[in-house]
């Protein structure tokens, strides 16, 4: 069964053939952000040396939010894969993330509660949550469908695909 998200990921992949930079907002190829001892670091995806960025508490913008979504999706996917390989319940991890990411934002951007927020919890939000919430959900949906399309394990493929559909539905509802 071909889902809407599956087809969307396929179309986005085709666009990426013409302009690979078009995929950078969804799947960053060069750097991934992480936090170590409260200092943001940029770690090269190819294993190169990490470079310290400005450690001052500068509110994140849309670009940092996109990178945070991509990094969180990657972390969630790795946790689910690890759980599956070690005999744990990958579906439970993905269901909890879906509950958090698809919930009503209540004035802030929905985010998985077991992963670090991309902004200070009490600080100002430079990106309007009403505008950003559906974009965050849509980006996560496309990324999780990418995992579903690329993984051989049937149980994980189904679980990633179901989460992608749930996120896509939430994004479309939030955007209305």
57-110: pLDDT as tens digits: 444 577 788 888 899 999 999 999 999 999 999 999 999 999 999 986 555 678
Residue 54 CB neighbour total at 10 angstroms: 8
Tens digits of residue pLDDT in 147-175: 999 999 999 999 999 999 999 888 888 77
Please tell me the distance from the alpha carbon of residue 117 to that of residue 94, in angstroms, as a whole number. 18
Q: Is the pLDDT of residue 30 over 70?
A: no
DSSP count for the chain of H helices, then E strands: 5, 3
Number of C-alpha atoms within 13 angstroms, CB side, residue 162? 16
> pLDDT above 70 covers what percent of the chain?
62
CA gap 83, 77 in Å, rounded: 10
CA 133, distance to chain mean position in Å, is 12
Q: What is the pTM of this model?
A: 0.70
């Amino acid at each position: 069964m071909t889902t809407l998200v599956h087809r969307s990921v396929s179309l986005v992949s085709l666009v990426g053939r013409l302009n690979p930079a078009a995929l950078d907002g969804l799947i960053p190829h060069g750097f991934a952000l992480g936090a170590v001892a409260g200092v943001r670091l940029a770690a090269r995806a190819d294993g190169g040396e990490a470079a310290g960025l400005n450690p001052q508490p500068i509110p994140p913008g849309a670009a940092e939010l996109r990178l945070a979504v991509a990094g969180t999706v990657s972390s969630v996917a790795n946790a689910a894969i690890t759980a599956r390989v070690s005999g744990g319940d990958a579906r439970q991890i993905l269901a909890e993330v879906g509950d958090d990411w698809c919930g009503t934002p209540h004035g802030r951007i929905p985010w998985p509660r077991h992963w670090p927020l991309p902004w200070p919890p009490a600080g100002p939000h430079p990106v309007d949550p009403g505008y950003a919430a559906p974009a965050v959900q849509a980006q996560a949906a496309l990324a999780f469908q990418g995992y579903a399309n690329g993984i051989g394990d049937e149980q994980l493929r189904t679980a990633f695909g179901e989460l992608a559909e749930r996120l896509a539905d939430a994004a479309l509802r939030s955007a209305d």
